[in-house]
Amino acid sequence: MPEQSVGEDIIYYAVHADANARHVLLLIHGAGGSHLVWPGAVRNLPGATVYALDLPGHGRSWGRGRSSIADYARVVVEWMATSGVPPAIWVGHSMGGAIAQWAALHYPECVAGLILVATGARLRVSPQILEGLRSNFHRTVELITEWSWGVDPPARLVEAGRRMLLSADPQVMEGDYRACDAFDVMDRLGEIRAPALVIGGTADRMTPIKYAEYLTAHILDARLVRIERAGHMVMLEQPEAVAEAMRSFLTELASRTGPGV
């Protein structure tokens, strides 16, 4: 997997380049995650060059985690500049969706579009999680795992998700959740000019479907895809449905603007 130094951080990323790529996608994971939260159906999306990052302090990336959405967005923008990545469609899950919204508001020149997955314009976090990450990490991971999945998810996926969270640095993960808890752009969504696809699972307990509905109602150029019975890890639970929604969105963008978006 390639790596790129960005200041004091070393950012690892996976990249898939379709020979007939018309789009550039940037996949940004959520709190305590890594690029592995994105299934192959998304990472290998046809017709696109797809970059999937490990944020600093996550996965195989070196460096310290951040404690604000603004700081994470700044790192990603600096990585794009250093790596020569052109304006991209930012695809963000949960905390990654917050990072993508922040980028659309503060670095619009870097954002060709948004795909917001299981996220919201405000991401208040239960005190049970915020306090538990410091006082009883393992028990809190169990709680997060319990809340993260929809109706009858495959046991192997749940266990893989649990292992990923347990492998995270507890301090980094606490910083992630505190960054989410402080995030609030509910009153600024009308400023976003990038076209947006919003994907939400109808059984999501972490970011309920009403969050996705709010995003869709307040971003000027947005449409919503509901994934029935899916929870917070919607892209892992129903990868083909998510990938199909993304393919349809990319086709729509290409019809508006031509190649290269």
Residues 19-36, mean pLDDT to the nearest whole number: 96
What is the mean pLDDT of the segment spanning 63-80?
97
pLDDT of residue 18: 86
Q: What is the pLDDT of residues 189-247, one digit of tens each?
A: 999 999 999 999 999 999 999 999 999 999 999 999 999 999 999 999 999 999 999 99
What does pLDDT average to over the chain?
A: 96
Write out pLDDT tens, residues 112-139: 999 999 999 999 999 999 999 999 999 9
Domain extent listing, the chain: 3-257
User: How would you write the chain as a 3-class SS string?
Assistant: CCEEEECCEEEEEEEEECCCCCEEEEEECCCCCCHHHCCHHHHCCCCEEEEEECCCCCCCCECCCCCCHHHHHHHHHHHHHHHCCCCEEEEEECHHHHHHHHHHHHCHHHEEEEEEECCCCECCCCHHHHHHHHHCHHHHHHHHHHHHCCCCCCHHHHHHHHHHHHCCCHHHHHHHHHHHHHCECCCCHHHCCCCEEEEEECCCCCCCHHHHHHHHHHCCCEEEEEECCCCCCHHHHCHHHHHHHHHHHHHHHHHHHCCCC
On the question of pLDDT at 260 being above 70, the answer is: no
pLDDT attached to residue 1: 60
Question: Under CATH, which number does the domain 3-257 receive?
Answer: 3.40.50.1820
Q: Residue 261: pLDDT above 90?
A: no
